Structure 1
Amino acid sequence: MNLTSVYMRDGTLLPVYKTLAPADPHHAVVMLHGITTDMDTLAASAEQAADKLNTTVYLPVLRGYHHNKRKATIVRTSQFDEDIEDLLRHFQSRHSFVTLAGHSMGAGNVLRYLQEKGTAEVSASFLAAPFLHPAHPVFHSFESDNKAYTISLKKAVAAGFLTRMGLSSAGHWKIAEIPIRTHPLDSRSATYRKQLSFRLLTSRFITRPTDFQGISTENMHILCGKNDEVVDFSKLDSFLKEYRFPEVTSAGAEDHMSVLTSRAFLESMEQALQKAEAGHSIHQ
């Protein structure tokens, strides 16, 4: 896996890990990471997809996560959408078809992008173990024992209220803190604490939890394991059916991370690529 970088419209350089297909590929997959940039499993998934499906896979490090500063924030709520659009346009100049995929919270970014920017740059969309919005009734009910991740719900509520009242500085309030690896691909890498702002986190989701207006679900593929410890497969399937999303494909006994390297992942991704290349793209 190679490390490159892509310029955004404001001149910011975002790091992008890429795995090249064995042969010259027509198709590329841009896979967005979850709440952390831990990418060892994503990298294994990318290498598997590149080898088996002859597609180049790009793993961008999202804005705010792209530097080693302690605090991660963004200037405006549209910044992730603009960055993703810039990435897609950059890769579109090199490939005939580009699939936008997301794992966990990265799937939230995909859904938001489709609503905010449409499908002109996207041949297919792929949501793996999707954390689409924290207000969706699709999660397991349990208290996490992982004290490494902290979130202040009170500060989040207060920041939300104040930003709606016009106090834009509240968007920069720290509402979460997570461990971040110095080297995303190395599970043994040293970590440091990164604070995530209210604006950064909320900009990864659609604005209204159940307002899916404008989101094209044509050639959208959704995958979740039945042993996912974050998302409840049955709840997710029922919820999305209610809003007429495509059926959630079961990845069997896979969990939140292992779904990325499962046979079901390869099979579902292959279907997405084949439909796109057969002309059933979601280009509008």
Structure 2
Amino acid sequence: MKKSLIVLFAAFSSLSIFTSCGPPSNYGPNDIVTISGKFIDPDGNPYADKQVGVWVLDIQGISYNNYWYPDPDDYELTESDGTFKIRQKGDRYLWPNGTAKYVLIANIDSLAGPVTAMGFFVINQETTLPDAKLWLANVNSTVTNDTAAFTWDAVDAVAGQAPDKYAFSSAVVYWDLWSEDSVASGFKMPAYPFQNSCNAWRIAANIARPDDNGIDWSFMSETKAGANLIPSSAPSLLSKGKAAYAAGHGDTNYTKLTNQVWHEWEAF
């Protein structure tokens, strides 16, 4: 689960959520705070009996070893009508100075998507969220003459507005084979960066909150999955699945080096 959740957090652009400078709250540490909402599936039906993840984003809750791929702080199940309700003491959502912390809520029953995530400051004692609709984007890709083209259905009808941007990501094992921060349906690019190894790709539609009273939205499409989705006449990723060793580290096999998921800043 951890390796997929990073996409949810990357969608939210405000780094201020990790500091104790949230907006003022309207409750105290001993008050009962409630957060309620409803998830709706792509067909407009209640997203019943599905798992929802809840993250309270603060420095104390995200360790140095775990901060890239944090698991939820709490889990909820939607009711038969798709609704959920969270009850906590106020101190769960407050910084020591009384300002509000930032919370992220998303359906996590299927990380292959679609996934809808909502991020917001818990300012009021009672928060009723807008319905969270899942986005079936009908993602599709074609390759012609070593040029890949990617298409999907707009999120506007689901989100109620046009997104600030669409973002593209693809995977061999993890979601860091190739990504584009801002794209439009129909965008094209050479196929060779995928190295005949792309097993999955998807689109995120992101909408930033207008102010601290608003909600950040990230609508993650379903995943387009399959073997070598973006074929190319360029050389294949020949290292995939092969062993990799580092001097001074004995027989430890560092497969991330050969599976296209290693970053230069990562230590052995």
Higher share in helix: 1
Pick the TM interval, shorter chain.
under 0.3
Determine which structure has more spread, i.e. the larger CA radius of gyration: 2
Please give the TM-score of this superposition, normalised by the length of structure 1: 0.23
TM-score, normalised via structure 2 length: 0.24
